[in-house]
A and B are shown apart, each in its own frame.
Chain A
Amino acid sequence: MSSPSAAQPVDLQALNLEDARALLEHDAQNGDREAGESATHYLQRVIDGLCDLSLKDPLTGLGNRRHFHAVLGRSIEAVARTGDSVLLLLLDIDHFKRINDTHGHHAGDQVLRAIAACLARCVRPMDTVARYGGEEFALILPHCRPGFGLVVAERVREAIAALTISVAPLQTLRATVSVGGAYAPEWVRSTAELWIERADQQLYRAKAEGRNRVCLDQPRELAVSAEEKGLLFSQLDLDELPPPGVPAPTAHRVNA
Chain B
Amino acid sequence: MNETVTPADPQPVVMAQNPIGKVVAVTSGKGGVGKTFVSANLAAALARRGLRVLVLDADLGLANLDVVLNLYPKLTLHDVFTGKATLEEAILPAPGGFSVLLAGSGMVEYSRLTPEVRSEFLRVVHSLVPRYDVVLLDTGAGISDVVLFAVSLASEVLMVATPEPTSLTDAYATIKVLAGQQQRDQVRLIVNQTSRAGSGLAITRQLQQVLDRFVVGALGRPFTLAHLGDIPADPEVRQAVMRRQLLVKSLPDSPAATAIAQIAHALKEKLAAKSG
Binding site for B on A (CB under 8 A): 80-83, 95, 185-191, 193-194, 197-198, 200-201, 204-205, 207-208, 219-225, 228-229, 231-237, 239-240, 242, 248-256
Q: Supply 5 A–B pairs (Cβ within 8 Å), ascending by A.
A: A191-B14, A194-B218, A207-B5, A219-B180, A235-B202
Interface residues of B in 176-209 (CB under 8 A from A): 176-177, 180-183, 193-196, 199, 202-203, 206-207, 209
> What residues on A are CB-neighbors of B148 within 8 Å?
187
**Within the complex, what minimum Cβ distance (angstroms) separates B156 from chain A?**
15
Instruction: Give the contact stretch, choosing among B50-58, B74-82, B163-171, B267-275.
Output: B163-171
**Within the complex, what minimum Cβ distance (angstroms) separates A8 from chain B?**
41
B195 touching A249, Cβ below 8 Å: yes
**Within the complex, what minimum Cβ distance (angstroms) separates A256 from chain B?**
3
A208 touching B115, Cβ below 8 Å: no
Q: Mark B3-20, 1 if CB is under 8 A from A, else 0.
A: 101011000001111110
Closest 4 CB pairs of A and B: A256-B37, A249-B233, A188-B17, A220-B180
A185 touching B183, Cβ below 8 Å: yes
A237-B149 contact in complex given A185-B17, A197-B219, C-beta closer than 8 Å: no
- Chain B interface residue count, Cβ-Cβ cutoff 8 angstroms: 62
A224-B172 contact in complex given A219-B180, A251-B193, A252-B162, C-beta closer than 8 Å: yes
A252 touching B233, Cβ below 8 Å: yes
> What residues on A are CB-neighbors of B176 within 8 Å?
222, 224
Q: How many A-B residue pairs have CB under 8 A?
A: 152
Interface of B is mostly: helix
Q: Does B70 contact A (CB under 8 A)?
A: no
B235 touching A251, Cβ below 8 Å: yes
> What residues on A are CB-neighbors of B37 within 8 Å?
254, 256
> What residues on B are CB-neighbors of A185 within 8 Å?
16-17, 181-183
A222 touching B181, Cβ below 8 Å: yes
When C-beta atoms are compared, the residue in chain A nearest to B183 turns out to be A185
| A219 to B183 CA separation, bound complex (whole angstroms) | 11
B183 touching A188, Cβ below 8 Å: yes
B14 touching A232, Cβ below 8 Å: no
B118 touching A81, Cβ below 8 Å: yes
**Within the complex, what minimum Cβ distance (angstroms) separates A4 from chain B?**
37
B235 touching A250, Cβ below 8 Å: yes
A186-B16 contact in complex given A233-B168, A236-B206, A249-B195, C-beta closer than 8 Å: no
Q: Mark B130-174, 1 if CB is under 8 A from A, else 0.
A: 000000000000000100110010000000001111001100110
B182 touching A188, Cβ below 8 Å: yes
When C-beta atoms are compared, the residue in chain B nearest to A253 turns out to be B238
B173 touching A224, Cβ below 8 Å: yes
A207 touching B3, Cβ below 8 Å: yes
| A236 to B202 CA separation, bound complex (whole angstroms) | 8
A240 touching B238, Cβ below 8 Å: no
Q: Does B224 contact A (CB under 8 A)?
A: no
**Within the complex, what minimum Cβ distance (angstroms) separates B200 from chain A?**
10
A236-B118 contact in complex given A187-B182, A194-B219, A197-B219, C-beta closer than 8 Å: no
B238 touching A82, Cβ below 8 Å: no
Q: Does B113 contact A (CB under 8 A)?
A: yes
**Within the complex, what minimum Cβ distance (angstroms) separates A131 from chain B?**
22
Q: Does B68 contact A (CB under 8 A)?
A: yes
